[in-house]
Chain A
Amino acid sequence: MKKTLFVLLVILIVLAPISTLFAGGSKESSVERHAFIFKNTGNPYGDKQMQGFTEGIEEQGFEAITRAPDQPTAEAQIQIIEQLITQKVASISITGNDFDALEPVLNKAMEAGVKVLSADSAVNPASRLTHINQADPELIGRTLIQAAYDIAGGNGDIAILSATSQASNQNLWIEWMKKELAENAGKYANLKLVRTAYGDDLRDKSVSEMEALLQSFPNLKVVIAPTTVGIAAAGRVITDRGLIGKVFVTGLGLPSEMAEYIVNKSCPYMFLWNPIDVGYLTAFAATAATKGSITGKAGDKFSAGRLGNFEVIKSEDGGTQVMLGAPFKFEPSNIAEWKTVY
């Protein structure tokens, strides 16, 4: 009994690599194929990114493969990457589930001649040619101040409700907001930034901070909250206290969380990146890398269909990146379509 089992096992072990060889061989096709791997399945945000990627690849006449593991783990992504290497795809673009853990397998892919990029959520510079960043911090900061100016009608008190005082993303955006205010002091002469409060991305604390802002500054007109929990908490407080039309909130938020407040006008409009565009831009960066028109060095240039021309620049993690550009605007006219997406 044991012996037969053992023999069966040996046969299986011998056959296993042969069968994958066949599988790899049979899927070979003439059209150049580009792969996109998202963090996990069943994520509407990821579905939109994969949709944009497919659109961008097919527009150029290539074939797109989009994959995502069931669980958002690096291990699961490693398996998918191994399969894609066997299938000899031209490029792999990945939203990493781990910054460092994918390095060995991605290096293996690059050695096999596959171009590797990361999008949205970066992998470390050693395991990618370049990274596609969702949005440009400078444009986020400047856009939000311009939005506050527009909503306030040019004059009044404005305040910032951020995440924690240590959050690096938010602090970078706030820095750009202040720069925008300082550089155009004439335009913003009647717009006064009265305070930056920190809600720590906690619901209860964000509500307390928002209420304190309202109590302390009776002339407060616009609150800029560049964080999902903060902006929703601010919308909630404005709605609860019947301040719609007197105080407004804008910033960066999830469409699903903000749908109610955009419809009830406590938030006239707000921003976040558009996942379709992230995928679409990634598609063009991937094909540019395969053609050799970008090598991942800062200064490389490529064009991305309807989005225009882009340049590879240095990123803070020591590698390079491509910035998608200004954040996407969510307003009453498009919120119904986006609220179910993410």
Chain B
Amino acid sequence: MVKGKILFTENLRELGLLIFIILLGLLIQLRNPAFLSLSNITSLLTNTSILGILAVGMMLVLITRGIDLSIGAIIAFSGMVSALTVARFPEMPPLLCLAEGMAIGTIIGMLNGILVARFNVLPIIATLGMMNIVRGMTYVVSGGKWVSSYQMSTGFKAIATGKIFGINSLIVTAVFVFVIAGYFVNHTRTGRQIYAVGSNPEAAEVSGLPKRTLVFLAYAIMGGLAGLAGVLWVAKFASAQGDTAAGYELQVIATCILGGVSIAGGVGKLSGLILGTILFGLLNNALPLINVSPFWQMGIQGITIMAAVIANVMVKRNTDRLALRRRLI
């Protein structure tokens, strides 16, 4: 009975988020009938895919009680390097570009992981430093110049604009990442161990979990996904510049929070994350559609995030209380 109640409160949050998304969608549809058109839904999902891919990695990092501020810089760097490569070798197959970007991102992510897991540097400090280093490297490799659309091959740009089974390749990539991540966090031993390390590091270590390795892994995966996102970003906008995605890490963290991932670690579900991503994408897509003044757009986003955090805290308090009560019984 009590156990059922815990499950219910936990799902209540996602249910609430879903209802909120539907209500918001209806409201926007009333204001602008173009909202629910196929073309708009497609562009909403296309524009949200990169955010979703990054949110998956960030969720893993947040679960380990960490944070990664370097991903905006990783996006810029991996995007810039792949754009420069393609400008030099236009014949390069697109899949190789993706691999190149992911490799770069993974290496930087591994460095973050080593700093945090091996040298016990606070995640916020380690990744803040890495953010500046990588951003600086982006300017160094590019000489401060942009790589423009005409320098990129059609094949490279098709990475983000092409279609797979009639669906935009960005959406397909994001769904693919979500499916793999779903399997990883729910059905593999390593995935479950990451939660254990985040929810109670001491207990996890005492029970013999390889804590350092698991934390390292989370940052490496985050880096790899950010590297992938970098190539997708540059291919999508057909331009690589030094300040690409500056500050984007905060949007990704906000998406995770909207999706119910706890900054305190140990908590975060993929279903919630997907809803959080959609809500964030919805806000980005719909606020311009209903002609909200630019001054209000940011305010509305902030209020939504704040509401999500408060809901999180309340749900957590409830589940904790129920769990306590169960222990008493």
Binding site for B on A (CB under 8 A): 42, 164-165, 195, 197-198, 200, 203-205, 207-209, 211-213, 215-216, 232-233, 235-236, 240-241, 254, 256-257, 259-261, 263, 339
Complex interface: chain A residues within 8 A of B161 (CB): 240
Task: Summarize A's interface: helix, strand, loop or mixed.
Answer: helix
Complex interface: chain A residues within 8 A of B112 (CB): none
Task: Summarize B's interface: helix, strand, loop or mixed.
Answer: helix
B294 lies within 8 A of A203 (CB):
no
Rounded to whole angstroms, the CA-CA distance of A197 and B34 in the bound complex is 17
Complex interface: chain A residues within 8 A of B289 (CB): 212, 215-216
Rounded to whole angstroms, the CA-CA distance of A240 and B154 in the bound complex is 12
Rounded to whole angstroms, the CA-CA distance of A256 and B145 in the bound complex is 10
13 A/B residue pairs, CB under 8 Å, sorted by A: A42-B143, A164-B294, A197-B288, A208-B284, A215-B35, A215-B39, A232-B237, A232-B239, A235-B149, A241-B39, A254-B146, A254-B148, A260-B238
Rounded to whole angstroms, the CA-CA distance of A182 and B161 in the bound complex is 40
B291 lies within 8 A of A195 (CB):
yes
B287 to chain A, nearest CB (A): 8
Among A204, A216, A339, find the residue whose CB has the most chain B CB atoms closer than 10 A.
A204
A196 to chain B, nearest CB (A): 10
B198 to chain A, nearest CB (A): 30
A212 lies within 8 A of B288 (CB):
yes
A203 lies within 8 A of B239 (CB):
yes
Determine if B150 is an interface residue (Cβ-Cβ < 8 Å): yes
Rounded to whole angstroms, the CA-CA distance of A205 and B143 in the bound complex is 26
A261 lies within 8 A of B47 (CB):
no
Question: Which of A211, A254, A259 is the one whose CB lies under 8 Å from B40?
Answer: A211
B158 to chain A, nearest CB (A): 11
B291 to chain A, nearest CB (A): 7
Known: A165-B295, A257-B149. A209 touches B288 (CB 8 A): yes
B79 to chain A, nearest CB (A): 11
Rounded to whole angstroms, the CA-CA distance of A5 and B165 in the bound complex is 77
Determine if B199 is an interface residue (Cβ-Cβ < 8 Å): no
Binding site for A on B (CB under 8 A): 32, 34-35, 37, 39-40, 43, 47, 143, 146, 148-151, 161, 233, 237-239, 244, 284-285, 288-289, 291, 294-295
By beta carbon, the residue of chain B nearest A200 is: B294
B150 lies within 8 A of A236 (CB):
no
Known: A207-B47, A215-B32. A339 touches B294 (CB 8 A): no
Rounded to whole angstroms, the CA-CA distance of A45 and B294 in the bound complex is 33
By beta carbon, the residue of chain B nearest A212 is: B288
Rounded to whole angstroms, the CA-CA distance of A261 and B150 in the bound complex is 9
Known: A165-B295, A208-B284, A232-B239. A256 touches B32 (CB 8 A): no
Complex interface: chain B residues within 8 A of A213 (CB): 288
Rounded to whole angstroms, the CA-CA distance of A208 and B40 in the bound complex is 10
B37 lies within 8 A of A259 (CB):
no
B122 to chain A, nearest CB (A): 29
Known: A209-B288, A256-B150, A259-B149. A204 touches B47 (CB 8 A): yes
A203 lies within 8 A of B237 (CB):
yes
B149 lies within 8 A of A236 (CB):
yes
A257 lies within 8 A of B146 (CB):
yes
Other than the given A209-B288, A215-B35, A259-B150, 5 more pairs (CB < 8 A) read: A164-B294, A197-B288, A207-B237, A216-B32, A257-B239
A211 lies within 8 A of B238 (CB):
no
Known: A165-B294, A203-B239, A204-B47. A259 touches B148 (CB 8 A): yes
Rounded to whole angstroms, the CA-CA distance of A203 and B149 in the bound complex is 13
Complex interface: chain A residues within 8 A of B47 (CB): 204, 207-208, 211
Complex interface: chain A residues within 8 A of B285 (CB): 208, 211-212
Rounded to whole angstroms, the CA-CA distance of A164 and B297 in the bound complex is 12
Complex interface: chain B residues within 8 A of A215 (CB): 32, 34-35, 37, 39-40, 289
By beta carbon, the residue of chain A nearest B291 is: A195
Known: A211-B40, A215-B34, A260-B150. A236 touches B143 (CB 8 A): no
Known: A165-B294, A236-B237. A211 touches B149 (CB 8 A): no
The 4 nearest A-B residue pairs measured at CB? A212-B288, A260-B149, A215-B34, A259-B150
Complex interface: chain B residues within 8 A of A260 (CB): 148-150, 238
Among B47, B143, B150, B233, find the residue whose CB has the most chain A CB atoms closer than 10 A.
B150
By beta carbon, the residue of chain B nearest A262 is: B150
Complex interface: chain A residues within 8 A of B288 (CB): 197, 208-209, 211-213
By beta carbon, the residue of chain B nearest A335 is: B150
Rounded to whole angstroms, the CA-CA distance of A212 and B297 in the bound complex is 14
B148 lies within 8 A of A256 (CB):
yes
Complex interface: chain B residues within 8 A of A216 (CB): 32, 34, 289, 291
